[in-house]
Structure 1
Amino acid sequence: MPSKDQQLVQKGRTFTETARRTQIVRCAIETIADIGYGKASFEEIARRANISRSLISYHFTGRDELVAEVLTSVYSRAAEYMTAIIAEADTPPAQLEAFIRGNLAFIGENRQDMAAVLGIVLHARTQSLTAKPESSAAQPRLRGLASILEWGQQSGDFRPFSSSAMALAILQAIDGAHQLTSSAEDVDLDVYADELVTIFSKATRQEDV
């Protein structure tokens, strides 16, 4: 979700400004997914959006800001999608399963968006962007999963472990599906989800005494 500062800034924008920023972000997603982060310059995004480069510069101070907005847009939509799914599960194991399956369902339904996210994240890790936009954008997702795991430990459903380490392992396994779907169109994400649910159900469950 956007921070309070971001929400205040958004409230100060006109409808036209908000719509134009949304258009630019959408075109940036499509461009990065199509030709890769390295080639997705302001000039190329502007050409594909049929607008001037200066218009993008008016709305975004630089590439880092646009990239951060792309990630925030995708992660925010994913969070809204996931919230409804997780709310239907009433136990920690059920919420963990819903989290895994819901994330993979979102990936399957938004492959272009996730291809753009993957391109940004991989570039940030290998080229050392001045900012690490994926870190702040992904933090609510990491904290949300950690809270499910901690609830399971408190209820006795899950064994003792580092909730942050386990959450990171689960997220990395989920995000590995991005790479699979980007290299093959016939990846069965339902089967992938089944495997992850089995693996992490066994990894987190309370051992029999």
Structure 2
Amino acid sequence: MASVPSDPVRSERRPRSRRRLGEDERRAQIVRAALAVVARHGYAGASTTLIAAEAEVSKGLLWHYFADKNDLLKQAVVTTATRITDELIAELDVTAPPPELIRRSIHWIAAWSLGHRDELRAMDQISRSQRGADGLPDFTLADYEPTYASQEQLFRRGQQLGYFRPFDTRVMAVTYQGAIDMMLSYADSHPDIDIEQYADALTDIILAAVTA
């Protein structure tokens, strides 16, 4: 942050300098702006003019970082989802017993969502609406593959350590992720619910289903 001159006369003569953002910071700034605009105006109303204004950059600068509007919105979802995953992993002890790891993961996601409802709503709109040049959806369940694979590893580790009973880990991974997504969607449409209580109940149900 630029320092404020102590001399008010000098301050009037010389405008405050603004810190120049690096490439990664500028890209992140534009991504945040894109999600904010989608949350506020909807997918159809999220023009590049509004996104540039929200990011406080020229419209032409958008295309220095992204190929077109579709690329910008797709990357907004992809990079934000990656950031959320990285933040979750950073907060967890991945060596903890699998039941404990599941409980902490669900509660972290529930707590995180409370302060990021607009962001999640925008990501959901883009994921449902975005189409490529061929007219096909840009996002499908295939994009969950890395998530499913990671969760399968967790369930298999729980089985190997004797915490979990035998079951199809792929089916459970899909079910588990679907339950988390539904928790977030339900909380968005029912903002008065106690999402922490919901997370507790959901965790109990999942662990009851898998525990040996």
Q: TM-score range by the shorter chain?
A: 0.7 to 0.9
Give the alignment's Cα RMSD to 1 decimal.
2.5
Distance 1:116 1:49, change over 3 A: same
Aligned to 1:178: 184
- For residue 76 of structure 1, what is the amino acid of its counterpart? T
Deviating above 6 A after TM superposition, structure 1's stretches of 4 or more consecutive aligned residues are none
What is the match of residue 175 of structure 2? 169
Looking at CA atoms only, which structure, 1 or 2, has the larger radius of gyration?
A: 2
TM-score for both structures, normalised by structure 2? 0.77
The one-letter amino acid of 2:65's match is H
Q: 1:55 maps to which residue?
A: 61
Amino acid at match of 1:58: H
User: Kindly tell me: are residues 47 and 38 of structure 1, through their superposed partners in 2, closer, same or farther at Cα, counting changes over 3 Å?
Assistant: same
Tell me how far 1:77 sits from its aligned partner: 2.4
* Structure 2 residue 54 is matched with structure 1 residue 36: no
Q: Would you say the 8 A contact 2:164–2:210 is kept in 1?
A: yes
Matched residues in 1 for 2:23 and 2:55: separation?
Answer: 15
Match of 1:131 in 2: 138
Match of 1:9 in 2: none
Please name the residue that 1:192 is paired with: 198
Q: Percent identity?
A: 28
Q: Is the 8 A contact 1:68 1:133 kept in 2?
A: no
Q: Which runs of 5+ in 2 are unaligned?
A: 1-19
* Post-superposition offset of 1:23: 1.5
- The answer to which structure, 1 or 2, has the higher relative contact order (CA under 8 A, 6+ apart) is 1
Q: Which amino acid aligns with 2:203?
A: V
Aligned residues: 190
CA distance in 2, matches of 1:85, 1:55: 35
* Paired AA for residue 192 in structure 1: Y
Which one has the bigger helix percentage? 1
How much does 1:134 deviate?
7.6
